[in-house]
């Protein structure tokens, strides 16, 4: 579904090589996490995959089609929830706007908006403005907007980096539940090793800058994940320890 | 304090300083023999006689119409050009020094020039008002559009919000706090230019009438005209503030709501 091959990005003005050679793929319906040491170009990678940033070399393909700009059936949840929602619109209007742009009939639009707001537990605040909600709730709005858009591929850029730990656990379970329900191919970028192991079917480990793929690790945990039991499995600890060592190595390489 | 007491305090607070000013004015005019400072009562009488008459139709309304026309022209040109310049870094680099130069020219000196180009009719006055009002609107719009949030801009790109829809939902709304600030500055400039443009080669309007009274030694009438202009500016500012509160409710709410 998503193929990234030989992706390279050099920022011209600064002559910084952010990505050297990144190659991986994500099959339809998979949930894959990307981790790496801080400053390793995770966001650059995501922006290239999203078509927001032209790569210097290499290619990104979604369902076989090369990405040259934001693909029509791709949705993104950004880290900065406070800046990715329109403050002058209500929660409902925020979720609805992309659907209006798709020229979707009003009836179907209403169903999708109501359905996705209910799915993230925000049905009762549809007429509030985003700034009236807590950070975790704002990120739920952004997730609802992405889900209502019915994407083929969902990108998430460290979506829970700025919320507190409890909210974060809730949101992780929300993402898992939505992913199971919709089967949307998901690429989840995070700097949190635990989060990557908990959510992912696979974890792609990036090296320090200039970035290459260090490891493509299958997460062989039972498919049903639970904050308490999954995280206390010995295998969880093994995977976590392994990835931790990898990240330390990546940092040392620099 | 009970409700009535609070209302009384409020009225006293609001009306206290104006009342004091009128009293000082009254005392001064009673004590001095200055012909040019009539008593407030005399000015109030002149006000009623002068302005509650056909002058409203002949002078006040044409003035207001020209102000509105010039202001509307400036809003259209200022916001339009401001959005274009704000969205294009290249255009901005080319245009910005020139804009700063034009803004630095005091608008009243353009009156003689515009008179030569546009004659002495209504068109000239509308142009003078527009040419003064346009700069704060333009420059503030450029600032506002330039400061649009990148994440929001990326969001629009990802979700296919482009073209006119992007202009409406992202650019204009995002820049609206700065645009409104420009509009507020332009309003007071507009009133000044409305009066000044009517002091040149005019046969009607508030500025013309005030000069006419002054030359005819109708001093109380002249004062009443000044009073009317002050009230006019006050009412327009009040209306503007109501509009602003509506347009920017999300903006002020966001500031307070972040607790």
B29-69 pLDDT, tens digit per residue, is 888 878 888 888 888 898 888 888 888 888 889 899 999 99
Segment A37-88, tens digit of pLDDT: 887 888 899 999 999 999 999 999 999 888 998 999 999 999 988 899 999 9
Helices H, strands E: what count in chain B? 13, 0
Q: How far is B259 from chain A (nearest CA, A)?
A: 10
Q: Which chain B residues are Cβ-neighbours of A86 within 8 angstroms?
A: 152, 169-170, 173
Q: What's the average model confidence in pLDDT over A128-137?
A: 91
CA distances from A37 to A79, A109, A251 (A): 17, 40, 6
Subunit contact A98:B257, Cβ cutoff 8 A? no
**Which domains are seen in chain A, by residue range?**
2-73+153-253 (3.40.50.300), 86-150 (no CATH)
d(CA B41, CA A239): 90
Q: Which tokens belong to A119?
A: 């799915």
Tell whether A236 is within 8 A of chain B (Cβ). Answer: no
Subunit contact A86:B170, Cβ cutoff 8 A? yes
Segment B129-163, tens digit of pLDDT: 999 999 999 999 999 999 999 999 999 999 989 89
Q: What is the pLDDT of residue B256?
A: 45
Q: What's the average model confidence in pLDDT over A245-254?
A: 78
Helices H, strands E: what count in chain A? 8, 10
CA distances from B18 to B5, B12, B173 (A): 21, 10, 38
Subunit contact A75:B158, Cβ cutoff 8 A? yes
Q: What's the average model confidence in pLDDT over B198-213?
A: 85
Scan for tokens 């680099």, then name that residue. Answer: B93
d(CA A192, CA A29): 22
Q: What's the average model confidence in pLDDT over A98-116?
A: 92
State the pLDDT confidence band at B255, using cuts at 50, 70 and 90: low
Q: What is the pLDDT of residue A45?
A: 92
Report DSSP state, residue A67: P
d(CA A77, CA A189): 10
Q: What is the pLDDT of residue A37?
A: 85
Please list, residue by residue across B10-49, b when 16 or more beta carbons sit within 10 angstroms of its beta carbon and e when fewer do.
eeeeeeeeeeeeeeeeeeebeeeeeeeebebeebbebbee
Q: Compare CB distances from B159 to A131, A132, A149 and report the shortest one's residue.
A: A149
Interface test with B, best of A13, A88, A134 (most B CBs within 10 A): A88
Report DSSP state, residue B120: T
Q: Percent of chain B scored above 90 by pLDDT?
A: 48
d(CA A119, CA A27): 25
Segment A186-226, tens digit of pLDDT: 999 998 999 999 999 999 999 887 888 988 999 988 888 88
Subunit contact B154:A76, Cβ cutoff 8 A? yes
Q: Compare CB distances from A84 to B155, B160, B257 and report the shortest one's residue.
A: B155
Subunit contact B253:A131, Cβ cutoff 8 A? yes
d(CA B150, CA A53): 13
Q: How far is B255 from chain A (nearest CA, A)?
A: 9
Tell whether A129 is within 8 A of chain B (Cβ). Answer: yes
**Which domains are seen in chain B, by residue range?**
41-247 (1.10.3720.10)
Q: What is the pLDDT of residue A198?
A: 93
Report DSSP state, residue B57: I
Q: What's the average model confidence in pLDDT over A14-23?
A: 86
Subunit contact B253:A132, Cβ cutoff 8 A? yes
Q: Compare CB distances from A88 to B165, B250, B258 and report the shortest one's residue.
A: B250
Q: Count Cα neighbours of B200 within 13 Å in the Cβ-side half-sphere.
A: 20
Q: What's the average model confidence in pLDDT over A110-117?
A: 93
């Amino acid at each position: 579904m998503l193929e990234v091959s030989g992706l390279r990005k050099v920022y011209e003005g600064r002559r910084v090589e952010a990505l050297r050679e990144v190659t991986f793929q994500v099959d339809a319906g998979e949930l894959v996490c990307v981790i790496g040491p801080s400053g390793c170009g995770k966001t650059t990678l995501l922006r290239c995959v999203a078509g927001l940033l032209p790569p210097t070399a290499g290619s990104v393909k979604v369902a076989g089609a090369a990405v040259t700009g934001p693909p029509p059936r791709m949705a993104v949840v950004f880290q900065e929830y406070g800046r990715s929602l329109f403050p002058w619109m209500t929660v409902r209007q925020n979720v609805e706007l992309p659907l209006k742009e798709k020229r979707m009939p009003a009836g179907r639009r209403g169903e999708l908006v109501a359905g996705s707001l209910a799915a993230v537990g925000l049905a009762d605040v549809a007429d509030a403005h985003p700034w009236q909600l807590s950070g975790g709730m704002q990120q739920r709005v952004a997730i609802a907007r992405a889900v209502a858009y019915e994407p083929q591929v969902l990108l998430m850029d460290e979506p829970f980096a700025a919320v507190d730990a409890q909210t974060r656990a809730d949101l992780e379970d929300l993402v898992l539940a939505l992913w199971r329900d919709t089967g949307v191919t998901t690429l989840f970028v995070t700097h949190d090793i635990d989060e990557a192991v908990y959510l992912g079917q696979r974890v792609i480990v990036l090296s320090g800058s200039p970035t290459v793929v260090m490891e493509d690790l299958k997460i062989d945990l039972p498919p049903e994940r639970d904050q308490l039991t999954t995280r206390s499995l010995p295998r969880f600890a093994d995977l976590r320890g392994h990835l931790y060592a990898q990240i330390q190595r990546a940092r040392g390489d620099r | 304090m009970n409700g009535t007491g609070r209302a009384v305090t409020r009225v006293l607070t609001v009306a206290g300083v104006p009342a004091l000013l009128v009293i000082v004015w009254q005392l001064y005019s009673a004590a001095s023999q200055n012909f040019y400072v009539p008593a407030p009562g005399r000015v109030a009488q002149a006000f009623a006689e002068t302005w509650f008459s056909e002058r409203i139709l002949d002078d006040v309304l044409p003035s207001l119409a020209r102000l509105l026309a010039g202001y509307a022209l400036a809003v259209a040109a200022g916001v339009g050009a401001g959005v274009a310049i704000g969205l294009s870094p290249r255009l901005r680099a080319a245009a910005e020094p020139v804009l700063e130069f034009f803004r630095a020219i005091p608008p009243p000196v353009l009156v003689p020039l515009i008179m030569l180009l546009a004659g002495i009719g209504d068109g000239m006055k509308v142009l003078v008002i527009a040419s003064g009002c346009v700069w704060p609107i333009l420059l503030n719009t450029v600032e506002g559009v330039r400061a649009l949030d990148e994440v929001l801009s990326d969001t629009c790109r990802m979700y296919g919000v482009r073209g006119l829809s992007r202009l409406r939902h992202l650019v204009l709304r995002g820049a609206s706090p700065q645009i409104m600030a420009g509009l507020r500055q332009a309003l007071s400039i507009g009133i000044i230019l409305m009066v000044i443009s009517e002091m040149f080669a005019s046969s009607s309007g508030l500025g013309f009438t005030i000069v006419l009274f002054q030359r005819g030694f109708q001093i109380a009438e002249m004062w009443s005209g000044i009073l009317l202009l002050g009230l006019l500016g006050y009412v327009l500012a009040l209306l503007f503030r109501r509009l602003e509160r509506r347009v920017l409710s999300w903006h002020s709410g966001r500031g307070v709501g972040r607790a």
